[in-house]
Amino acid sequence: MTERTLQRDFNERLCYLPIERDGSTYSLNPIYLGRNKKADLKPVLEQLGLASMFPSFDVLSFNRPTNKQPPFLFRDIKVEDISEYTESFKQLTLAIQNHHLIDFEYKQQTYLFSQPYKLVNDRGVWYLSALHNGTLKSFKVTKLSKVNIAPEKFEYDISVEQKIRQQAMLWLTETPIEVVVKIDAAIASHFTASNLLPEQNIIKGLDDGCLLATASITDKNQILPVLKYWLPDIEILSPKELKQALLTELQFSIDKMSK
């Protein structure tokens, strides 16, 4: 076979392959051979929410496995076993990938024409994050049943995915969440005179004049503005996710003011 024949093969017959040329040297793109660079996998890890597991991408190598043992080992990762729900998981995955509407049952209620956006593992628990009747909600995969992919498709909205990435699954639920707060004696009279918290209930007065109270919410934004107004004389006792959400918002405000 002549050099000219080889060049014709590379340029014409094999043009569908990712062949790279460097002078007189021809080679296949390393990605085609399964050898990905760090930069190739970084966006994938970020999209999956796994980037924070590694302090630096410089320590990673993504070549084909060799006889060398990998330097990392993950053990006892707390993720629920959903092997019994494999079929539902597959259907949800397909519907999300192809932007198909779905119907399903959840806690004895039927949800029709829902728009599935993500399967999210939040603190080891698998959730379906979907739009239903225009509202973003979360559903535990283990509580879903009778999943059916409808032939109709929906228009994907990137802003919905961004909200999913920013929001913990806890706050995308229809089930009311109980919030327990401690109210300082300096402002206690305001809360005994009026119900300033959503579904407020004073459960106990303490010897120092402080109050223990509960509130019921389905969205953190129902209560965070009130809590921020009365800081530092009010303290969140539970849930810890709400306390963290408040700290995050306060830190964001501080960072913004300091610029």
> Percent of the chain scored above 70 by pLDDT?
74
- pLDDT confidence band for 17 (50 / 70 / 90): low
Q: Tell me what pLDDT residue 231 has.
A: 95
- As given in the structure block, the two tokens for residue 72 are 């990392």
pLDDT tens for 74-131 read 777 777 888 889 899 999 999 999 999 999 999 889 999 999 999 998 878 899 999 9
Cα–Cα separations (whole angstroms), residue 236 to 184, 204, 214, 227, 247: 12, 15, 10, 9, 11
pLDDT tens for 147-190 read 999 999 999 999 998 888 877 777 777 678 899 999 999 999 99
Query: Could you identify the residue written with the tokens 């929001």?
Result: 167
Is pTM beyond 0.75 here? no
